[in-house]
Amino acid sequence: MTAPESPREGQTDSAALADKVAIVTGGASGLGRAMALALGKAGARVIVADLDAQAGREVADLVGGTFRACDVSDLDANRALVDFAQQQYGGVDIALLNAGVATGCGVGDDFDPARYRRAMGANLDGVVYGTHAVLPALRARGGGSIVATSSLAGLTAVPLDPLYAANKHAVVGLARSLGPALAPDNVRFNAVCPGFAESRIIDSLRDMLTAQGLPVIPAEVVADTVLRILTGDGTGECWFVQPGREPEPFRFRTVPGPGRPAAA
């Protein structure tokens, strides 16, 4: 698999997702809920993973799927989640590693180690642990697809929340690196990078967004982009989602190579 060009426009081939077994972390609300609903509509068998059992079960019921409580910041919990999916459905084809939280602190006087670890645990460890846990199951199926939820904060500087930017940049780095690294196993790894999208993470920002006239991206738009990624052929891509623009992979500039030393 050589990461050919992904489809940019047109209808998602939802039929390709029918009967696929998909894990969605953070699936009880926001973007994860929208992803689970979109997968269920496409005919996939969905495991909704979250810490919110009541809301998670409600989403699972809506899609005819199954709920599993999971703290993605715990490696053993991720392994147990994959084991559960295999026992319930015989394998795993898709992992949407979407769980995430707001940071709630910076690196100055407001630094809070507990908040920092919570954010890194959900936003970065959850992707690393989730990938590690699900890879054997995907390989056993002959391949599969992982999509991690990053953010536009993973593609640009965010001076007001540098720690959130740091863990989301890390997810982008994983996607760009694991895409080619996992290609020999027929496992595709991509990231979705929405701007201000409908989720709990923007709750504290809503008044500011409204005051500045900034639109909030519907969660369904992000979910549709994820389905496009899943039904495409690309790997190692980081798809941005912004209001008024067609979602597509971000075009990273080539890193400068070694050159001749400057003349004296």
Known active-site residue 116:
no
Measured CA to CA, the distance from residue 180 to residue 189 in angstroms comes to 8
Q: What is the Cα 145 distance to its own chain's centre?
A: 11
CB 97 within 8 A of CB 167: no
- In sequence order, the 6+-apart residues with CB closer than 8 A to the CB of 8 are 246, 248
CB 65 within 8 A of CB 117: no
CB 188 within 8 A of CB 146: yes
Q: What is the Cα 77 distance to its own chain's centre?
A: 18
Residues serving a catalytic function are 164
